[in-house]
Amino acid sequence: MALYPPGERTSEPLDDRLRDDAALAEIELTSRLMIAASGATSPLTQSEIDGLLGVDPEA
């Protein structure tokens, strides 16, 4: 007898060995750019992109 309806998935704890902090950070930055670009009425400037990515243009 199933505890969950057919097709419903249960969440299992993630194995910390599978965690890739660099990949997660890259996904976060890409998400920021995608969200900003989708809401922009014109192409993002380099300064806006730098700000979204937390880049210091003087560095």
Q: How confident is the model at residue 4 (pLDDT cuts 50, 70, 90)?
A: low
Which DSSP string do the residues of 15-29 spell out, in sequence order?
PGGG--HHHHHHHHH
- Quote the pLDDT of residue 27: 93
Q: Is residue 53 over pLDDT 80?
A: yes
CB 49 within 8 A of CB 33: yes
Q: Give pLDDT tens digits for 21-38.
A: 899 999 999 999 999 999
Calculate mean pLDDT across residues 38-54.
93
Which candidate, 11, 17, 55, 59, places its Cα nearest to that of 33?
55
Which candidate, 27, 25, 36, places its Cα nearest to that of 47?
36
- Backbone phi, psi, residue 36, to 5°: -65, -45
User: Scanning the structure block, which residue is given the tokens 């920021």?
Assistant: 32
Calculate mean pLDDT across residues 7-24.
76
